[in-house]
Structure 1
Amino acid sequence: MSRIDLTCIIDDDPIFVFGARRIMEMADFCSSFMIFKNGKDALDNLKPILESGRQLPDIILLDINMPIMDGWEFLDEFIKIECNQEITIYIVSSSIDPMDMKRVENYENVSNYIVKPISPDTLNIIKKDFA
């Protein structure tokens, strides 16, 4: 199974970020992390990386309910940016609203919708998808 180099977590909940990062470290899920508190921070930091050709995240774990710019707004802007590297995006949310789960189907660059919390089993599924 190939190792994921860089995982990006976009989530405003510090407890979730801490827990997800800890579980990923224990599972030897990836080599490093990028963490952003909302979609705007993520876009402001990822866009220059995309444009310069520097290393991009292999996987983005994206919350949808965040202040300033939510996950849906982030996706709408992110898909407009030209990118030569495939980035696998997972929505990771506490929302069990069927409308949110259905809405994810409108984004072909989103691999799956994961309901929080993240578990080691969830990470194994993501890693299998990535391999």
Structure 2
Amino acid sequence: MKIDTVCIIDDDPICVYGTKILLNHNNFVSADILVYEDGDEALTNLTSQLNKGQRMPDIILLDLNMPIMDGWGFLDKFSKLPLVNKPQIFIVSSHYGDHEIKRAKKYDLVRDFISKPLISKNLNDILMMSNIAV
């Protein structure tokens, strides 16, 4: 599988900027990068893409703590969509513990938790877990 699109859902512009730099420096340059500032904006736009018959992103990097709709709200609604190609979601957060990890296991789309800040090794781990080529 090849990565065509990576979606970043995070309200922190510094984290988004750093993630984009890491993606571009780790062979993700051919991938489109979608950025949404909260779960509601992401859900609206991704649902619109789905309704137009467009593919979902291959990978979603999801923050948990955001205004308007947090990562959990996004997961609740996104996981109910009739997805043909299911993205692999990696929760990227600075605050999580056993409770959040247990909660995340209820969602089939969530592959793993990654601690902020995202580093090159995390991206390599994502590729290995996903069996995805860039």
**RMSD between aligned residues:** 1.2
Q: How many residues align?
A: 130
Q: 1:1-131, aligned counterparts within 5 Å?
A: 3-29=2-28, 31-131=31-131
Work out the percentage of aligned pairs sharing the same amino acid: 42
- The one-letter code sitting in structure 1 at the alignment partner of 2:60 is I
Deviations 1:30-81 (A, max 9, x none): 5110000000000110001112211320000000000000000000000111
Task: State the TM-score, normalizing by the size of structure 2.
Answer: 0.92
The CA distance in 1 between the partners of 2:118 and 2:94, in whole Å, is 10
- How far residue 83 of structure 1 moved from its aligned partner, in angstroms, is 0.8
Q: TM-score, normalised by structure 1?
A: 0.94
1:96 Cα deviation from its structure 2 partner: 3.1
Cα distance in 1 for partners of 2:47, 2:86 equals: 15
Q: Please state how far the C-alpha of 1:126 moved relative to its aligned partner.
A: 0.6
Give the residue type in structure 2 aligned to 1:8: C
After TM superposition, which residue ranges in structure 1, 4 or more long, deviate above 6 angstroms? none
Q: Supply the AA of the counterpart residue of 1:92.
A: V
Worse-matched range after superposition: 6-15 or 95-104: 95-104
Unaligned runs of 5+ in 1: none
Structure 2 distance, partners of 1:16, 1:31, is: 18
The unaligned stretches of length 5 or more in structure 2 are none
Does the CA contact (< 8 Å) of 2:55 and 2:85 recur in 1?
Answer: no
Matched residue SS, 2:4: strand
CA distance in 1, matches of 2:22, 2:127: 14
